[in-house]
Amino acid sequence: MKKILSTCALTLPLVLSTTAFAKNEVNVYSYRQPHLINPMLEQFEKDTGIKVNVLFADKGLIKRIQEEGELSPADVLLTVDISRVMELVDSNFTQKVKSDVLEQNIPMQFRDSDGDWFALTTRSRAVYTSKDRVGKLPADFDYIDLAKPEYKGKICIRSGKHPYNVSLFASLIEHYGVDQTRDFLKGLKANLARKPQGNDRAQIKGIASGECDYALANSYYFGKMLTDPEQKPLAEKAIINFPKGKNGAHLNISGMALSKYAPNKENAIKLMEYLTGDKAQKLYAELNHEFPVKNGVERSELVASWGEFTPDQLQLEKIAEHYKQALQLVDEVQFDIEK
């Protein structure tokens, strides 16, 4: 059974230090919520006999790793969004991995060419519409269309500063330039039905309540809602759309890296390889409704029912490259400040 530490452990002494060098263990530091990765880690334990110790934290992980330094017990680092992955790399908290298994399992677009990070799953930043009031968007719909005056007062979105949105905006900078992205953010803000608030599910719920007709949210949240008996009636009032536009639907990742001072390096690489294998990738798809990164692993039946779509082929490093600039634009247009 895994040893699981919650976010409160970040303020406690180093609990994992006593087991950090155990021969048959691996220590995972994770930004991802426990229910999203526990099934895969539990299956790894069953299949390998290697015990997994997990520390979950939605904030403070970077600071903790920095303070632990060379004594950090962290072996594998799990996070979401390419910006957070690159923050780990740029902070010099990772080490390169050379693995034929990882290179075979993960397409080049979804891993670092030097082996500093690897994607586990992908997800799209989808546009949701009211089933009754709007219907499905045209095939050529683009994200930048959301800034058109015809959508005034009809759009729900979470904080513009959230990494999921900033990464989308960063991709627009690469595709359309800074000036056009700034204009887009101004137009999008003018079209909001309410002040940016809540999480991704709250935006879909906004459609269900009639507060808005359009919303932005990650694709796997829609899957989670549709398989939750309480939230399914709300989700069924919305339609998921993957904008094709000029560049295709925006993709981001959940990812992993090998910690710089991993005390259980061999087990860590075994876990990383396992998480990109058929069994774990199928679990990710079936339980979380994310897109598997490994070719040949099918999407969940529910996700497949949403139809095929054209993904943006933008290299993920480009998103990370423009991330700070995108965040500056969000501040510049005062996106989160009520009109």
> Both 225 and 163 in a single domain?
yes
Q: How far apart are CA 193 and CA 180, in angstroms?
A: 22
Give the residue-averaged pLDDT of 190-197.
Answer: 98
DSSP-assigned letter for residue 111: B
Q: Whose CA is closest to 297, among 276, 317, 318, 315?
A: 276
Residue pair 59/7 in contact by the 8 Å Cβ criterion: yes
Binning pLDDT at 50, 70 and 90, where does residue 57 land?
confident
Q: How far apart are CA 47 and CA 211, in angstroms?
A: 48
pTM of the model: 0.91
> Both 145 and 226 in a single domain?
yes
Q: Is 220 annotated as a binding residue?
A: yes
Q: Which pLDDT belongs to residue 3?
A: 56
Q: At what angle do helices 178-190 and 316-332 cross, to 10 degrees?
A: 60
* Tally of domains within the chain: 2
Evaluate if residue 8 carries a pLDDT over 80. Answer: no
- Strand 118-130, strand 251-259: pairing: antiparallel
> Both 267 and 245 in a single domain?
no
Q: In sequence order, what are the beta bridge partners of 95?
A: 258
The mean pLDDT value of the chain amounts to 93
Q: Which residues contact 100 (CB under 8 A, 6 or more apart)?
A: none
> Both 239 and 182 in a single domain?
yes
> Both 227 and 324 in a single domain?
yes
Q: Which pLDDT belongs to residue 110?
A: 96
> Both 150 and 213 in a single domain?
yes
- Strand 118-130, strand 238-241: pairing: antiparallel
**Which tokens hold the place of 133?**
């009031």
> Both 314 and 196 in a single domain?
yes
Q: Is residue 337 part of a domain?
A: no
Would you call 209 helix, strand, or coil by DSSP?
helix
Q: Whose CA is closest to 118, among 249, 258, 243?
A: 258
Share of the chain above pLDDT 70, in %: 93
Q: Which pLDDT belongs to residue 124?
A: 98
- Find the domain containing 225 and state its range: 124-250+308-332
Q: Is residue 199 part of a domain?
A: yes
> Both 30 and 99 in a single domain?
yes
> Both 206 and 315 in a single domain?
yes
Only one residue has tokens 């970040």, namely 10
Residues in the chain: 339
Q: Is residue 158 part of a domain?
A: yes
Q: What is the CATH number of the domain that holds 177?
A: 3.40.190.10
